[in-house]
Amino acid sequence: MISLSHVYKTFVANQHVLQNLQLEVQKGEMLFLMGPSGAGKTTLFKIMTGFEKVSSGSVTINNFEINQLSSRQMALFRRSIGVVFQDFRLLNDRTVFENVALPLQILKLNKWDTLEKVESILNRVGLSKKMSENPEHLSGGEKQRVAIARAMVHSPKLIIADEPTGNLDWKLSGEIMQLFREANQNGTTMIIATHDQELVKNEVNKRVVKIESGRVYEDGGKQPCGQFFAPLSEAGLSIL
């Protein structure tokens, strides 16, 4: 489903943000992309969503070769994925309903199908009673649930989330992870970039990929998290 091969990304000459990054993600996987700030997670996130181009290497997602896409094809590719941000990125001049309906409008779905799908997803995230409210009046957790609803409303095969719980407390983070888990159980491939180890600890059937200095430092495969963090911590310490 996702294949990153020999990916390099350089912003300043000879300073690689990503170097020789290799990653394969299978359909239906739930992958946590972990690493400290500056490790290259956000750059990787931008590359996977087509907002940055790789300096060299190839990125294939959903059979789209990201580097080769025209602007029109790029728009089509983005319609096949869902994206969640740490800072929610909601439009404050539109209602919760309008925010969630945005991808369906882009897909030119008719009014009734849009209504049905948005109501259904807002029910799932527990915000059906707030669909006519402005996002400004929602709590942080609610905002993130709206963002997740927007990412899932068009049933994408892949959801990419960049620090989705970064601005939330542990309780709200748990709620958000529950939504991701449900989406994953329904067959959606999930890639979640985070530096929050606590968030990953309790997840089962997950794959954790650790990035340090722009490389895949460790690819945990599908295994419990406890076994995974000990060597990572040591590695981190040795780098420091």
Partner 1 sequence: MWSIFCTIKRSWSQHFVEQFSAFIILLMSYTALLFIALALTNVQNMFEMWGQVNQVTVYLDPAIKAEDKNEIMKSLDANPMVNSFQEVSSSESAKNFEKRFSKVTSQKIDAKEVSQFFPSYFVINLNQAMAYSAGGTVLDDFAAQLKTGFEAIKNVSYGKSWLRRYIGVLSAINWIGWFLIFSFLIASVIVSSSVIKTILFSRRDEIEILEFVGADDSTIYLPQILNTIILASVAFVGALIVNYGIYLQFKSSSVSMIDASIQNQLSFITPGTFLLIALLAILSVALYSVMTIFNLLPRRKKALLVSEVMR
Residues 6+ apart with CB under 8 A from 202: 225
Cβ nearer to partner 1, comparing 76 with 239: 76
Interface with partner 1, residue 204, by CB under 8 A: no
Which residue, 113 or 169, has its beta carbon nearer to partner 1? 113
In degrees and rounded to multiples of 5, residue 3 shows phi and psi of -140, 115
CB of 198 to partner 1, least distance (A): 27
- Residue whose entry in the numeric block shows the structure tokens 């963090």: 229
Contact status: 169 vs partner 1 (CB under 8 A): no
Does 106 participate in binding partner 1 (rule CB under 8 A)?
A: yes
- The Cα 103–Cα 112 span in angstroms is 15
Query: Smallest distance from the beta carbon of 168 to partner 1, in angstroms?
Result: 20
What is the C-alpha separation between 170 and 176, in angstroms, rounded? Answer: 10
Residue closer to partner 1 by CB (options 55, 197) is 55
Which residues have CB under 8 Å from 61's CB, separation 6+? 1, 2, 3, 48, 77, 81, 158
Whole-number Å distance between alpha carbons of 224 and 203: 7
For the CB of residue 124, give the shortest distance to partner 1 in the complex, in Å. Answer: 18
The span from the CA of 190 to the CA of 177, in Å, is 11
The verdict on 115 binding partner 1 (CB under 8 A) reads no
Binding mask 39-78 for partner 1 (x = CB under 8 A): ----------x-xxx----------------xxx-xxxxx
> Could you give the string, one character per residue 139-158, with x where binding to partner 1 holds by CB under 8 A and - elsewhere?
-----------x--------
Comparing CB distances to partner 1, the nearer of 50 and 220 is 50
The contact pattern for partner 1, residues 2-41, with x = CB under 8 A and - = no contact, is: ----------------------------------------
Query: By CB under 8 A, is residue 89 in contact with partner 1?
Result: yes
Binding site for partner 1 (CB under 8 A): 49, 51-53, 70-72, 74-80, 83, 89-91, 93, 102-103, 105-107, 150
